[in-house]
Chain A
């Protein structure tokens, strides 16, 4: 009969013997499941924001526009500068999105995910003695503090790029109040930036704990693991934003 089903929960518990853990049906830690549920919910949050941006794409009545040239004195919009005739150079509005600069910040954020993976690996393997003849690179790989800080710094760099981007947009005449593009762009990327900020603070907290008492053991691996899940999620969201908002014209 369905004996296997009835004892499944029991078996998964057996793995936990030796170390005191709470019985769970799946053998997974509660917090990990909760973070997955949270991420599912966040997907819908960003889906709503991104859809709104896409629905409003091309509906702005005034410039600046994301990919098009515009003229402050007329309603003219054009794909290239040349097509925008009869607009004096002083009134020309450039396409506002700076893809090369944002590509750099995207690269930094992607690399931060790599650092996050290494941070988690370092916490997981903590306590394992380094092999004989380990070089500086092995020691570096084994340092969770280094990789946690590196992830946080790269996250902060991304935020630096974002504030540079926001400031320069404002200088070029695009604020959150200017047009539909401004409203939906700043809200969407601002929400993402807020998520990155929260992630950086989370990473710095982990770093502080690591400095204070050292992260090691099953419980601490979980602490870093759920932060990593969140961090990778925020990264993936940025890839969607970068593709849909920046790259696709």
Chain B
């Protein structure tokens, strides 16, 4: 049973992040890494950096709106700020933060040694990094995208947006799409094909399940925006007429294509956070997740229905009563599986021995705040109500409760929860507490008043407003709220950086959790599992250490563990570091080729900018040159052995 006391001091890494002998260090080891844990770490650091960028953008926006007739920035800069704030937070922060957890956790949770395609994984990260930089850099030259995060055409066609701004946005999103798609193919394959023996689909941890659903949403939703962007690019560069109203084009084409992607995107942003909360809540309630099956099926249901509700973003455009009714009903329907999840989380905590760690507080905050955002969402699923609310600050309040209150709170909980696994050290609970309360209070102070300013008619994206419309107090409150959140963010960054060196040393099973990732040392060795475990239930580690907690769950009999397969051994906890070479585990070679392949791909896309500048020969030279270099590095990649 409890074969697993805390590991002896000699077996744990003494300094956080110091790996077993033979593990590479230094900048090269990061540039050439194909280890899913390191790539996850890279995603985490990069996305948190972009989080600070997006936060600063939000801060300036709020300074501008703090008082009536604000003059902090010009209207043009303001447009760039709100566009980049939205684009950054959606594509460069929340999606990659989720990707950080996909990378780090999926192989660990399913008992695999890596993802299915380690080098493709590195490629996805580098494309994301270069694409993010490509989109962010123009803000320093006053040429950042300025058409809103949804880039509605025809507003974004050459006729109305002649500058390079929109080109950066269009090309940048294409690049980021490649990154997301490549990662999604990888994770789908990993989850389907790399599970440890006995890890059936219905035994996978909920985080892996939600991630699995998200990957399908990604591969099915991204093509729609890709095509919308291709049309826009062709219109801008080659004179096609997709969004040319004078030629008979449908002014709603973009909106349909964008929201066919855009609504599933909402679930792409929220489901990973749901998954993280579903790991945190059972651990700190000392109870298995309530209604596992229902949790899985409601997730699938959300993903499925998510493709049939996109036009609720378009009630105001006049689609007619039939379309409005259908999309309204579908939207209300999708509230049901979402509500089911809320009740499951509450029931998980019900009667549990709750430990209020920082991670737990963030997870509970997700349940509470997402519920508020969900309820305001159901409010504007009704077209008559929506007509009052659309394009007002009420909507801004709604989706910030969903995306900040839901996604960011869940991800923050995930960071506090998994930090000890990633670094071998705990983050400071004391500073974490301050961070949590500053975020929680600041977030509510920022976004709750927006419900009121929205109801009083304050439009979204407005540059400034006059006195006497009753919006002053609410706007002032929102700005103070952002400042409080800013303080919280500073504390978080301090905690995140400092704990890596001085945090309390964490054992492999840092929180007494039940899933596979906690059965190996913290930080995990490069090969993850010295021996692949045979899984017989949903909480293998609890079976081992607290069998009374999982007594009510379905188990396969012990005979399932009499495995003669050399790849697998009965469930056990690994506390000892060994070298992959000593254990005879083949590891993929580090390689820089995915980085170069990604770099040339991004440079090839950036050549398109010169078409806008009417420098066709330059554009062609860059694009053909980079395409050749891309094919060259791809050839080198495909012809070199993996391990």
Q: Which residues of A contact B (CB under 8 A)?
A: 1-3, 5-10, 13-14, 23-26, 28, 30, 33-34, 37-38, 40-42, 44-45, 47-49, 52, 55-56, 59-61, 176-177, 179-180, 182-184, 187
Contacts and interface: CB of A to CB of B under 8 A. Distances in A.
A44 B220 contact: yes
Interface in B170-228: 181, 184-186, 188-189, 192-200, 219-224, 226-228
A46 to B, nearest CB: 8
B185 A37 contact: yes
B466 interface: no
Contact of B249 (A41, A176, A180): A180
Interface string B218-255: 01111110111011001000111110001111100100
Contacts of A45: 223, 226-227
B188 A44 contact: no
B563 interface: yes
Point out which of A9, A24, A40 has the most chain B C-beta atoms below 10 A from its C-beta: A9
Nearest to A55: B250
A2 B184 CA distance: 31
For the complex of A and B, list the 8 residue pairs with the smallest distance between their C-beta atoms, beginning with the closest.
Answer: A6-B560, A6-B556, A45-B223, A44-B223, A48-B227, A183-B240, A41-B219, A6-B198
Nearest to B218: A41
Interface string B526-546: 000000101110000000000
A23 B116 contact: no
A191 to B, nearest CB: 8
A194 B195 CA distance: 36
Contact of B231 (A13, A28, A187): A187
Interface in B313-348: none
A89 B388 CA distance: 57
B10 interface: no
Contacts of A52: 227, 231, 242, 253, 257
Given A7-B563, A10-B568, A24-B194, A180 B223 contact: no
23 contacts: A2-B555, A6-B556, A7-B560, A7-B563, A8-B200, A9-B199, A10-B568, A14-B565, A23-B532, A30-B116, A33-B116, A33-B188, A37-B188, A41-B220, A44-B219, A48-B226, A48-B228, A52-B253, A56-B250, A60-B248, A177-B238, A180-B247, A183-B241
A41 B247 contact: no
A33 B224 contact: no
Nearest to B560: A6
B567 A13 contact: yes
A41 B532 CA distance: 32
Contact of B234 (A1, A179, A187): A187
A2 B567 contact: no
B242 A184 contact: yes
Given A5-B198, A44-B223, A48-B226, 12 more contacts: A8-B200, A14-B565, A23-B567, A26-B193, A28-B193, A30-B117, A37-B184, A38-B219, A41-B185, A61-B246, A183-B241, A187-B242
A1 B116 contact: no
Interface in B586-609: none
Contacts of B467: none
Contacts of B260: 48
B557 interface: yes
Nearest to A33: B189
Contacts of B536: 6
B581 interface: no
B166 to A, nearest CB: 19
Nearest to B586: A22
Contacts of A24: 193-194
B559 interface: yes
Nearest to A23: B567
Interface string B421-446: 00000000000000000000000000
Contacts of B222: 41
A9 B536 CA distance: 13
B554 interface: yes
B194 A25 contact: yes
A70 to B, nearest CB: 14
Contacts of B555: 1-2
Nearest to A8: B200
B249 A59 contact: yes
B219 A37 contact: yes
Contact of A177 (B117, B226, B241): B241
A23 B250 CA distance: 52
A115 to B, nearest CB: 25
A116 B516 CA distance: 44
A83 B250 CA distance: 29
Contacts of A30: 116-117, 189, 193-194
B542 to A, nearest CB: 17
Contacts of B568: 10
Contact of B189 (A34, A40, A48, A59): A34
Point out which of A33, A37, A45 has the most chain B C-beta atoms below 10 A from its C-beta: A37
Point out which of A6, A41, A42, A60 has the most chain B C-beta atoms below 10 A from its C-beta: A6
Contacts of B241: 177, 179-180, 182-183
B240 A5 contact: no
Nearest to B242: A183
Contact of A59 (B198, B231, B239, B250): B250
Contacts of A179: 241, 247-248
B192 A177 contact: no
B223 A26 contact: no
Contacts of B184: 37, 41
Nearest to A61: B248
A179 B197 CA distance: 58
B616 to A, nearest CB: 16
Contacts of A180: 241-242, 247-249
Contacts of B249: 56, 59, 180
A187 B240 contact: yes
A30 B246 CA distance: 49
Contacts of B535: 6
A25 B204 CA distance: 13
Contact of B565 (A1, A5, A10, A47): A10
B557 A177 contact: no
A7 B219 contact: no
B225 to A, nearest CB: 9
Contacts of A5: 198, 200, 556
Contacts of A61: 246-248
A26 B201 CA distance: 11
A10 B532 CA distance: 12
A2 B556 contact: yes
A59 B253 CA distance: 13
A70 B238 CA distance: 25
B21 to A, nearest CB: 26
Nearest to B224: A48
Contacts of B181: 41
A13 B556 CA distance: 19
Contacts of A6: 197-198, 200, 534-536, 556, 560
A55 B242 CA distance: 11
A126 to B, nearest CB: 22
B199 A25 contact: yes
Nearest to A188: B227
